[in-house]
Amino acid sequence: MQLQNKRALVTGGSSGIGEAIVRRFLKEGAKVMLADINCKLAEDVTNDLSKLYQDIYWINADVTIDQDIYNMIDKTISILGGIDILVNNAGIPMVGTVEKLSSEDWDIELDVNLKSIYRTSKAIWPYFKAQNGGVILNTASVAGLIGMPGQHSYSTAKAGVIMLTRCMAIDGAPEGIRVNCICPGFVKTPMADSFLKSQDNPEKTKKYIESLHPIGRIGKPEDVASGFAYLASEDASWITGIALPIDGGSSAGSAN
């Protein structure tokens, strides 16, 4: 077990990639606090997982609210006995060009997908310093590595996550704090399904997206969770400041 007795806090842990991370961390022996803004979903997932694992808990938290973040961290430390791993996974999609995207949607996108990582990392940093180390893992995206049409605010936020990760990694290294991010390609999640349903021709769009991944398929949440488990483990103790694409080869270039 890669994460035996490690204590992890996972934001946005109730569905998609976040849920897969929670499940993988538990399988690897970690104690996990699942944080999410959706109470019903968080409770349902936790109840389901508690049939297999003892050390799974949930808390309601809005990562755009400072007090929620501090409460989330304090409660996690109280219940788990500490935190070794923070996974900043909470996020939302936002489609729109510069011409059509409203300034309000732009602000919401960057607040949830980028500033929340700053907020949560800032809140936990003194705790990690005091215990001489910790791991911060951020969910970025291939959209933060390469330009994509209609993804202006989303891609900008995810590119910001990558640079924030690198800067925090440099600051954290002398204090034993490792910071990395993962850049998923197109992964079958509720968020991705919602995007496909919004298209004029969902099946045509799906086939086009598949063609952008040289491996020839859309990713599974479990594909991405494997990378998080590795970077959270002691096997990755000499790795910090990276943006790891888990994307079926899409960032290498189209197969077509």
Q: Render pLDDT for 90-100 as a digit per residue (tens, 0 to 9).
A: 998 888 888 98
Kindly name the residue from 70, 118, 127, 154 that is annotated as catalytic: 154
Is 53 noted as a catalytic residue in this protein? no
Please give the average per-residue pLDDT across 118-124, as a whole number.
98
Write down the residue that tokens 């011409």 correspond to: 99
Q: Name the domain count of the chain.
A: 1
pLDDT for residue 206: 85
Per the prediction, the chain carries an average pLDDT of 94
Does the structure show a pLDDT above 80 at 195? no
Q: What is the domain extent for residue 236?
A: 7-186+221-246
- Contacts of residue 40, defined as CB under 8 A and 6 or more positions apart, other chains included, come to none
Q: How far apart are CA 169 and CA 114, in angstroms?
A: 16
Q: Looking at the domain assignment, is residue 209 inside a domain? A: no
What CATH number does the domain containing 119 carry?
Answer: 3.40.50.720
Query: Burial level of 32, CB count in 10 A (0-12/13-18/19+)?
Result: buried
* Residue 82 included in any domain: yes
Residue 252 lies in a domain: no
Q: Cα(224)–Cα(246) distance, rounded to whole angstroms?
A: 6
Whether residue 70 is contained in a domain is answered as yes
Record the pTM: 0.95
